[in-house]
């Protein structure tokens, strides 16, 4: 496979840059593209060309979207007084696919991780605090749903302390909760089955 034709080689090298894809898999995937209809390839090439320019962040929750405000924030059926704080947009997919939650979200785009030089200023905590300061009166509950591993716990603790302060300063009465039992320590929400996720949201505890 050392002599893949130029275009295939470039595609294989690109696939190799994706997470979890080694050289062999990259070559196999690139070759597989040859079996697809030309029209499909053109279609996907179009999406690829536009994905970066068209995708932006929701002005309210910082979920990825192609509009100024994402579908969830814009949906009048969603309970705006319930905010679940998650590490990244993929976690929203877990909740939404499981269909267990009617509130809205706030996406942090990461977690506090000193070993990898990610501090609170590097993720979207400030945006959350600003949102809570502005709308605190309407908020009934904030669920801290960062992953139950070391960095996720540290991030939840940091946010909890900040929120507590805002609560006291502004006489807000919202509850701060954390996902309850069901989630194994070290779990990743993205890979959690929906029953476990449902159990953990039903049994969330005051934090």
In the complex, least distance from residue 101 CB atom to Zn ion, rounded to whole angstroms: 14
Of 73 and 189, the one with the shorter C-beta distance to Zn ion is 73
Which residues are at the interface with Zn ion (CB under 5 A)?
58, 60-61, 63, 70, 73
Give 184's DSSP letter: P
Token pair 């320590």 is at which residue?
185
Question: Any idea which residue has 């705006």 for tokens?
Answer: 80
Report the residue number, 66 or 202, with the smaller CB distance to Zn ion: 66
Q: Which of 98, 92, 88 is nearest to 118 (CA)?
A: 88
Nearer to Zn ion, 61 or 189 (CB): 61
Nearer to Zn ion, 40 or 66 (CB): 66
**b/e per residue 4-38 (b: at least 16 CB within 10 A):** eeeeeeebbeebbeeeeeeeeebbebbeeeeeeee
Shortest gap between Cβ of 42 and Zn ion (angstroms)?
32
Angle between helices 125-135 and 150-170 (to 10 degrees): 30
- What is the Cα–Cα distance from 75 to 163, expressed in whole angstroms? 26
Q: Give the residue with the Cβ less far from Zn ion, 61 or 163.
A: 61
How far is residue 4 CA from its own chain's centroid?
37
């Amino acid at each position: 496979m050392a002599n893949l034709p130029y275009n295939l080689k470039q595609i294989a090298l690109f696939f190799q840059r994706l997470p979890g894809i080694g050289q062999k898999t990259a070559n196999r995937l690139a070759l597989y593209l040859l079996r697809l209809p030309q029209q499909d390839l053109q279609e996907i090439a179009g999406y690829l060309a536009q994905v970066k320019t068209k995708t932006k962040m929701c002005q309210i929750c910082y979920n990825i979207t192609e509009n100024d405000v994402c579908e969830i924030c814009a949906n009048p059926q969603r309970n705006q007084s319930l905010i679940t704080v998650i590490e990244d947009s993929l976690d929203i997919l877990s909740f939404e696919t499981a269909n267990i939650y009617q509130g809205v979200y706030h996406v942090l785009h990461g977690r506090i991780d000193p070993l990898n030089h990610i501090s609170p200023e590097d993720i979207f905590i400030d945006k959350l605090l600003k949102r809570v300061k502005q709308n605190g009166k309407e908020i009934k509950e904030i669920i801290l749903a960062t992953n139950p591993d070391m960095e996720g716990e540290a991030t939840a603790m940091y946010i909890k302390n900040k929120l507590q302060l805002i609560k006291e300063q502004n006489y807000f009465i919202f509850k701060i909760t954390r996902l309850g039992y069901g989630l194994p320590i070290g779990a990743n929400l993205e890979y959690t089955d929906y029953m476990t996720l449902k159990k953990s949201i039903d049994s969330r505890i005051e934090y």
